[in-house]
Amino acid sequence: MIHFDVKDYNFILYVRIEDLKEHLKKRVEATLADLACKAPPSGPRNPKPVTFGDFTEDQAYRMFGEYTSPIDIRSVYSHEHLVLEGDLDKIYNRLAEQGKQKAERSGAAYFNGPCARLLRFSEVTAQDTERKAVELHLAPVSWEQFTVLNNNFDIDLPSGGTETIRSKYATPKSVYSNDRDFSWCRLSNILAVTCTPITSDGFGLVQARNPHGVAVGEGSVNRPMHTVGINENIHRYLDEVDLANKFHEPLHEWEPSRKLAADRKNPVDQTYKVPPGHTLDVYVTARRGMLEEVSKKLFKLVPITAYKFLNIIYDLYKFQPTLGGVVELNYTWREVERMINDFPGADHSEYLEIKPVNLKSDADVLEILRKDWLVHGRAAFITAANYLRYREKSEG
């Protein structure tokens, strides 16, 4: 008997009907467990959720910033490796291998790239500006570490009992109590950069994610997950800058991550070390997101001053921090649409489509918010909707 698995997007051959029944039973149980996990976290109430009118994203905790005033972001880097201890060390290799096999079955990309995690952040004195400024302290983490530690929350720990990765290592209370210094975090704490491009006529760009485009794809082709137009992890090579450079200019020419890793002479993979005197720049990350995910032409046309960060959010479901912001475009949606169609992103396999949402319409914003989203993506979109309203109100 041949069964086509829609979620894993492949054909599976079964000798007995009982085997198929058992497979489907486990899939239903896993789905129910995932839905239970996505319910509002138990424990203390989120003191600072992300909100739009009466709509509340309880699983997004706003650690710093608002929806209105841009924040200057600077970064320092230290090559402090993530150390796995105890339970996590014992189960890591098994879960990593399972993740690779799942990606192979579904045809999703699996690249163990050099990402970055947030150690801590602090408010600092801004230079040559009256805006708030934040200094991020970043350190290395790999894509594989994220896929293992932040995508297997319901796995029982080998210490016995009923403890899981989530119940022991990913509690909202730990974030609320320590939302500046994350030395307590034993998971990846990978930092994502999420920005909503906003057109001159008030449309925010949203992605419908491709469930087979990345190794940790969620949702399905018929019911995709959503996020904002730019949703990128920091890349320790592509987003590297000189500390003395104040113009957000990357040190390396852009190339696809997989091509960099495949270079036999100088491979760039999860072991890449940022040299002394260099750091990572989240503005470069956001611009790279425009290049890879949205449009090569917009990447060239949109100045760095159009990229504005507004807040730092903690995604309590994926248990990771994210920077939320906007990119203010001087082009209408129709002009942007043509550029996306004629000059698409250089590496746009991660989404099914980019669609506009009228941020000036409460009904349109609420309609899209009620669809399936990555939590930090929804938080970033809410940030953009609130920002546009504040900007238009302040402009008269």
* pLDDT tens for each residue of 165-220: 999 999 999 999 999 999 999 999 999 999 999 999 999 999 998 776 655 556 55
Q: Which range has the top average pLDDT, 33-47, 142-156, 210-224?
A: 142-156
118 contacts 138 by C-beta, under 8 angstroms: yes
Confidence of residue 267 (pLDDT cuts 50, 70, 90): confident
* pLDDT tens for each residue of 301-360: 999 999 999 999 999 999 999 999 999 999 999 999 999 999 999 986 777 899 999 999
* Residue 62 clears pLDDT 90, i.e. is over it: yes
* pLDDT tens for each residue of 5-42: 544 444 555 556 766 666 565 555 445 444 444 444 45
Mean pLDDT rounded to a whole number for the chain = 88
Mean pLDDT within 223-248: 93
Residue 224 confidence (pLDDT): 85
Mean pLDDT within 91-119: 87
Mean pLDDT within 273-279: 96
* Domains in the chain with CATH codes: 1-37 (no CATH), 38-394 (3.90.79.10)
